[in-house]
Structure 1
Amino acid sequence: MTDVPQPTGTAPAQSERPLDGKVAIVTGSGQGLGLAYAAELARRGAAVVVNDVNGEVAQQAVAAIEGEGGRATAVVAPVGSTETAKQLVSTAVDTFGGLDIVVTNAGVLRDKSLLKMSDEDFDLVINVHVRGTFTVVREAFAYFKENGVAGRIITIGSPTGQRGNFGQTNYAAAKAAIVGMTRTWAIEMKRAGVTANAVIPVAATAMTRTIPYFEKAIAAVDAGEPMPDFFRKELGFGTADDVAGLIAFLASEAAANITGQAIGVGGDRLQLWSHPQAVETAYHDGGWAYEDLRDGFEAAFGDALQTVGEKFAELPEALQPTPKQ
């Protein structure tokens, strides 16, 4: 773990708006994390295409960005189809004159345990997350390559995609797929000067609101008070705004040499996730027959078997959820 020195004083004027002249698309940005990303990109100088399936929500997001002096327009459409991807890119180009940054944040949840999960539950989540990311990035990269733009692709993963989580077969599959695609795109896009990175956010959202473990953290946010350090530091859990800075950084020239990475962020914590790799290796002359595995697997790998799921630290007594009446 590395402690990073905290910034002091006022940042130089030229670094406050590193995205001046840039144009960004942020899918699923009408509210929540997506809106935080879009608003931060706008604050840093980018014109932003907001996307949501709810027209009223999308227009409210545009108004909020413009109210802070930013530039934004909206595309009201569900991601997944090639038609929506083309509409997003053409809107960016026609309205703001180009495209430089894509953040694929749009997503849905349909949480159920495996035997209760329907085909429709599975297909919807995969379509929005995986196909929605694929079609938008494909269309954006085509524009980047044709126009010689050293663009930025920022996809959104999840700890569930990295570690698994009960009741989220569809979501885990989608988020793991997104990180896998991002690593592949980093290879394919390198020659064009385009970077592709995945962000793994941990933040207070509508979903975490329903989890008793986070009750005191959510209550602090709702009251406009600082979130307790246990959540921000031990768990790396914070607000949507805590994630937005990483999005702006990866979109900027300062991150031009960073690609193919999965970077976790939340609260006061920043993490670089490893690529999947072998943690232990064993050899057996002539290969591994059933009998060899039966007699030798435990000795070779017993101490190296990997854990699954997120393991939360025990809450301090003062942060325990309120007992149900």
Structure 2
Amino acid sequence: MMDGWPSIPYMQWRETCTALHLWCQIIGKYRLAHTPWVNHSWHATLYVTPRGLTTGPVPDRVLITVSFDFCDHTLVVEAEGGARAIVPLQPMTIAEFFSWAKESIQAVGGRPTINGVPNEVADPIPFAEDHTKRPYDADAVRRFHQSLVCVSRVFNQFRTAFLGKVSPVHLFWGSFDLAVTRFSGRKAPLHPGGVPNLPDSVAREAYSHEVSSAGFWPGGLGAEDAMFYSYAYPAPAAFSQQKVDPAEAWFDEKLGEFLLPYEAVRQSNDPERVLLLFLESTYRAAADTGSWPRRELECRPGAPRIPRPV
């Protein structure tokens, strides 16, 4: 058992993180291929579990769940009726993982329909053609998973203080970030698209309505260490000039987002409180500069066994 917020310096496990990102894309694409479309691509994401990450139930010919177990370091494929297949997580090529994942899904009665090209990465190599041996640092993956557990707990608490439309806390495998998103309820202007290796139609559907979105990256893709972010779409003119908490947070002009280093949260005396300060203050920056109807959308944070007043 691991307590607290672990250290996850990106450069020390960058190659393993890259491999894990591509593995998650493969499994996420399986869910995407068989699940009816849900608003903002929420049908395609992965979810944090006590042992790793999961697709949740996928409606294939039979109901199938595909899960990363970062405690035993296995990929577990399970189907209704009890069929089960396991793939060890270890150093391997992306092509090998792609092949074993498809074989395992087929072995339990599923159809391994998986688009073969990575999304949202520069110069993507088709999975079946990626024969570079990738490392697997099991301890780093275990620590990353524990960080996801800690972050998802805070994100889920933050989610409860909103009566308007709000997303689940889920991991987007394209950009490899854990995210939670609040909506003003108003339509947004057409998104310009242009996300690397992502159809414009997908980006435009994802950003069809005004959002304040926050999330967590392990590093890479513009954030060279583990980082929290928060942005608004469309971004109000004064959004970037707003003062947010804690003091270690800043607005990154290149990314167009407020950022807060994971290490600043981890090393604080109260990581949960510091992260909530960031989530709440950046949301207020978006809502206030965007003239959201805050009184209609907000409520006190949820608590177990206490119904909301009506």
TM-score (norm 2): 0.27
Higher relative contact order (CA 8 A, sep 6+): 2
Q: Tell which structure's C-alpha radius of gyration is larger.
A: 1
Larger helix fraction of residues? 1
When you count strand as a share of all residues, which structure comes out higher?
Answer: 2
